[in-house]
Amino acid sequence: EFMDFSGIENSKDGRKRTCLYFAHPYCASERGTNENHNRIFRRFYPKGTDFSKLNPKLFAEVQEWMNNYPRKILKGSTPELELQKHIGMNFKIPI
């Protein structure tokens, strides 16, 4: 899925829009924030959870909680507030 990393990093008109970074397999220390989010998620859904049997409303509540949970890496701010700073205050993370 990342074979065309240049296409992902650049818009159709060729302007740079993002940077991709790769982590080594089995090296959790290179994915600190990702691993922290996984740990938070696993508070609600342990490994082996059958997601096909989940109540979508409950899943949405967990997503809402995670998006509004203060993060140390964001200096006490939340992911939703940080996104609103960059996109606009009317933006709400879709559920």
Average pLDDT over residues 1-13: 81
Average pLDDT over residues 34-41: 88
pTM assigned to the model: 0.62
pLDDT band at 1 (very low <50, low <70, confident <90, very high): low
Query: Domain limits of the chain?
Result: 5-70
Is pLDDT at 69 greater than 80 in this prediction?
Answer: yes
DSSP state of 69: S
| Mean pLDDT, rounded, of the chain | 86
Using a pLDDT cut of 90, give the percent of the chain over it. Answer: 22
